[in-house]
Structure 1
Amino acid sequence: MLGSRIAALGHHQPSRVLTNADLEGMVDTTDAWIRQRTGIATRRIAGEDESVTDMAAASAAKALAASGLEPAEIGLVTVATCTAIDRCPSIAAQVAARLGIPSAVCFDLNNGCAGFCTALACADHSVRAGAARHALVIGAEKMSDVTDWTDRSTCVLLGDGAGAAVISEAKGQDAGIGPVAWGSDPARAHAVRLADSWQPRFTQEGQAVFRWATGELPTVAREACHRAGIATTDLAGVVTHQANLRIIEPLTRQLDLRDDVVIARDVIDSGNTSAASVPLALSKLVERGEVPSSAPVLLIAFGGGLSWAGQVVTCP
Structure 2
Amino acid sequence: MKLIRFFTKILLIAIVPLLAIDGLRKADLALDPRSGNAYLATFIDKMHLLDSVPSPRLILMSGSSMAFGVDSDLLSKELEIPVVNAALHFNLGSKFMMEQLKSTVKKGDIVLITLEYITTSQGQHEEQLIVSDFYPSAKKWVHFNSISNEIGAYTTHRLSDCRLLIGEFWAGTRSKPISIEDTTSVFFRKCFDKNGDLIGHLNNAQPTFINPELSTATDFSEQIKDLNDFATFAKQKGVTVLFTFPSYIEAGYEKNMAVVKKIENQYRTQLKFPILGSPENSVLDDSFFFDNVYHLNSQGRKIFTSRLIQLLEQEGV
Task: Name the TM-score class by shorter chain.
Answer: under 0.3
Bigger radius of gyration? 2
**Higher strand proportion:** 1
- More contact order relative to length (CA 8 Å, sep ≥ 6): 1
